[in-house]
Structure 1
Amino acid sequence: MSTESTARQAYPAPDGVLIGHLTPGSEAWDEARAGLCITATEIAAVMGLSPWQSPFSLWHKKAGLPTPPFEMSSPIEWGTRLEEPVADKWQDEHPGFLAAPAGTWHNRDREWQRATPDRLIYPQPAGEFEVPDQAIALLEVKTSPFGDDWGPTGSDEIPVHYRCQIQWQLDTLGLKVCHVALLVSGHDYREYTVEYDEADAKLLRKTAAEFLRTVDAGERPPIDGADATYRTIRVQPDGMEDRDVEISFGLVCRWDDAYQALAKASADLTQVRGEVLDLIGNGKRAVCEERRIAYRTVRDGKTYSLNPYKQKDTAA
């Protein structure tokens, strides 16, 4: 749905207030996500668990400071394109329910807590013109090239940044269950069920409220090693002055040590990649005791790349 309106109401969620059905990237969409609020796609960054954002980069965005421009990657593009057919597949598998576009919501008691779930799930109306009952669950649609960071279908084993997103959505709308429809490699369909965790939701709220306090107070987070942090720092200057800037001796030592370690690590990585690729030969994957270590891609019969499998964070 692309109409921007608060008049077209979705059917109610227990603790959610509908802001509207907003077109992603539109002015109204940006306004609903700007300023001192935290959305479901941002909460993992607040927790330091996002693959795409860091607390540092998100803090600059919320403070209205320069941030790197959004780049439409291939996974993001195809995830967006495939959302509707994957949601349709979930609907086909669950004929007793209706999965409808959800819109953007804020919590009834905390307007700064916002979420835009992919779908709201209702009991299927008996008649064509009957109104669905209150929403009973959420549906999130995801895609993955390999699915190695996901558990078996039917479980609740999903990547931790998506778990943060889902807990935030459930807490925002006051719902207890989120179903996840996942498409792996364009053909492997899986389903997961994530239940509301009150303790996790409380921790998310507490951390988010403190994060917003630091934004309001101008207390910038420390610089960390995330790529998003470095890219954010890069866009802060708006020119160049021909002058020297003195830095500390301790920072220089860390600079020298890091580059020396990088050179050694690069050589070690090249060597171990060569050994693994040599053993794979014409095979596709390197494994160790049922753990997948790396996979080989081929073009014109020759090795094009050797890629590591993502390993699950057993501590999450």
Structure 2
Amino acid sequence: MAALTDRHGRSFPYLRLSLLEACNFRCSYCLPDGYHAAAGTPRWLGREEIARLLRGFAAVGLRKLRLTGGEPSLRTDLAEIIADAVATPGIQTVAMTSNGILLRRRFAQWRAAGLSALNVSLDSLDDARFHAITGRDRGAEVRAGIELALASDLPTLKLNAVLLRGLNDDELPAWLDYLRTRNLTVRFIELMQTGDNRDYFRRHHVRAEALEQSLQGQGWQLLPRAATAGPAREYAHPGFRGRIGIIAPYSRDFCAGCNRLRVTAHGDLRLCLFGDFGIPLRPLLQSDASLDELTATLHAQLGLKQAGHGLHEGRTGLTRHLASIGG
């Protein structure tokens, strides 16, 4: 079956699937008041629905899956979902993004199930700043889980740090010390405006381009981008074991290399993180007989994908906060 492509010549081998919207952190840029389920919220996609969804996407070229949330580790059936994904013909990489709070307790289960890549959110190396940003005084615990994963045979480990003016944007020297001996990637993510964080965005947004220029001035070299890679521009330096990624959604031509689609925890296809509509796929996940209709729907909907987002104009679409779709 033909792989998914859009009218702008982009292909989509990468799916980000949210397993639930709930999160046990209170990050200031996402859920400062914590997660509160709205009345009448439908249940999350079940394991069988997810398995059918993945078979459909794999039939049209899915090669890399990232499990997101909310916080995906809150799913009690997470290890089983990972194993199902690994067993899906065509899927080559099963990754997950997590806040890392359960990493020490559950990492062995996830790895045994076949998890091959892990991103852990770590917005500061300083415990007090971590507490202030995330609402949880658990920075040391998250870092201990990272060290456990780093010492394992996990092929890919990355850390995510949202750049926040006045809160953590002066920490590059500390991160460079951290990366000197650790074989992982730290990705600095430019703060994005969402429906719920407009005032916060105005106070704390800082462009990632200045950081990128600083890295280039210190001898960091841009690496080639893999076909299934995420949106980061990744840099390496001969004096460091670790690497640095820059995710700058407000930079020119950011969307030109888009290769990923998203499905929410309720089964809605999102063509863009900041799109204005979702396409309900759940009715097509009730039986294997619907897989042909599912793949036909995916091909048809790609014709609606726009060339870029509307962030520069302040248009955030349906995304109230990043926990609602997994970033």
The structure whose RCO (Cα within 8 Å, separation 6+) is larger is 2
Asked if TM exceeds 0.5, the reply is no
TM-score w.r.t. the length of structure 2 is: 0.25
Over alpha carbons, which structure has the higher Rg? 1
